[in-house]
């Protein structure tokens, strides 16, 4: 049997008992991170309440999760937060927000919850992954996005920090990233082999150079078209999990989907994931039994042209989170252990009906 098939079979056998043991005691903490200063579009700070209002908590409860809603964190804007290098915007504000979020993520993981963070923009991944790494130093990252978000403060053309978080987290780039105001607390916590990108289709030249130079695995939409999403997930798990089990951090930008499905977002790029591809990714991650933390970011209710587009985007966000935590397309409710049997009274009634 080929190695890949052997690996997939072994992984499923190894994690099936883990999943069965955990599924009845899944405790999920939901953190709202209403933050927008990592990019230029107002409204992404309204993402957390919009996702909750789309029925997130009820949906998670219906699939057997014990849900603890932390509520929305408060992020202060630092006064006189000047540009770094005449380019990078709101560095102190973004750095402080990510530090607050990192502390909260670490706290809820320490308490035994799976951590779900609702963004807010993708600069927040600096906080969520740093907080996760503080609790689980051996984590790996699956980054689902149209963009690589791996520019450095010296290569960014926009200056928006939502396009830079991975560069601060990656050990290989430590000597390429300057110390900027508000970021002194951050320590690189992942290596190039610890992250896989899925869904890329809009890279800056510097980002493409970084991905190739440091041999960072990514699956563009072209590669997904060529080999299919099943092979993408198999190869991702081979690299990240190998023959060991370790926590997975899923960082999911809603713009990974095609804009026809998720229009209410700040940087849509045509040609993205289909609904089936996106949900397959999350279902397979859940099936490993290794998901420890999840970000769902860049939902911006202000950018939907119609109420329908906003509703479609928020509903899609709920589906992504729910399928990451156990919802299947076969059944959306919690599992049952056995079928009910007729009571003595019901059996007596049946006898009378026959007579």
Q: Which residues are annotated as a binding site for Mn(2+)?
A: 122, 145, 147, 149, 253, 255
Q: For residues 150 and 285, give the distance between their C-alpha atoms in angstroms, rounded to a whole number.
A: 23
Positions marked catalytic: 122, 145, 147, 149, 162, 253, 255, 298
Instruction: Write out the H or E segment, with its range, that includes residue 56.
Output: helix 56-62
Cis geometry, peptide bond prior to residue 120 (ω within 30 degrees of 0): yes
**Under a CB-based contact definition with an 8 Å cutoff, are residues 50 and 297 in contact?**
no
Assigned token pair, 53: 């209002």
Assigned token pair, 280: 């397959």
Query: From the annotation, which residues make up the binding site?
Result: 122, 145, 147, 149, 253, 255
Nearest to 233 by CA among 273, 296, 285, 293: 285
| Start-end of H helices in 258-329 | 275-288, 307-324
**Under a CB-based contact definition with an 8 Å cutoff, are residues 9 and 96 in contact?**
no
3-class DSSP state of 286: helix
Q: Report in angstroms the alpha-carbon separations of 31 from 47, 77, 211, 282.
A: 12, 19, 31, 19
CA angle 73, 68, 291 (to 5 degrees): 95
């Amino acid at each position: 049997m080929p190695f890949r098939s052997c690996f997939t079979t072994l992984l499923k056998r190894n994690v099936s008992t883990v999943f069965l043991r955990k599924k009845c005691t899944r405790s999920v903490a939901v953190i709202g991170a209403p933050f927008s200063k990592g990019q230029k579009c107002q409204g992404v700070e309204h993402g957390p309440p919009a996702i909750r209002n789309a029925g997130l908590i009820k949906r998670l409860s219906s699939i057997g999760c014990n849900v603890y809603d932390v509520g929305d964190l408060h992020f202060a804007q630092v006064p006189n937060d000047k540009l770094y290098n005449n380019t990078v915007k709101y560095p102190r504000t973004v750095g402080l927000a990510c530090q607050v979020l990192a502390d909260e993520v670490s706290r809820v993981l320490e308490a035994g919850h799976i951590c779900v963070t609702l963004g807010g923009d993708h600069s927040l991944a600096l906080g969520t992954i740093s907080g996760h790494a503080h609790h689980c130093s051996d984590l790996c990252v699956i980054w689902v996005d149209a963009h690589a978000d791996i520019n450095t403060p010296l290569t960014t053309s926009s200056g928006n920090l939502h396009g830079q978080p991975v560069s601060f987290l990656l050990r290989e780039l430590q000597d390429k990233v300057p110390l900027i105001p508000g970021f002194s607390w951050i320590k690189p916590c992942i290596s190039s082999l610890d992250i896989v990108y899925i869904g890329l289709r809009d890279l800056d030249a510097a980002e493409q150079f970084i991905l190739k130079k440091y041999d960072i695995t990514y699956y563009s939409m072209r590669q997904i078209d060529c080999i299919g999403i099943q092979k993408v997930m198999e190869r991702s798990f081979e690299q990240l999990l190998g023959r060991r089990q370790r926590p997975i951090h899923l960082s999911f930008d809603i713009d990974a989907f095609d804009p026809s499905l998720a229009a209410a977002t700040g940087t849509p790029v045509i040609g993205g994931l289909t609904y089936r591809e996106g949900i397959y990714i999350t279902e397979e991650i859940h099936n490993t039994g290794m998901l420890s933390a999840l970000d769902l970011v860049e939902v911006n209710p202000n950018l939907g042209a119609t109420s329908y587009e906003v509703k479609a985007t928020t509903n899609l966000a709920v589906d992504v989170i729910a399928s990451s935590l156990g919802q299947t397309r076969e059944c959306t409710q919690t599992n049952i252990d056995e079928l009910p049997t007729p009571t003595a009274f019901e059996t007596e009634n049946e006898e009378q009906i026959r007579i």
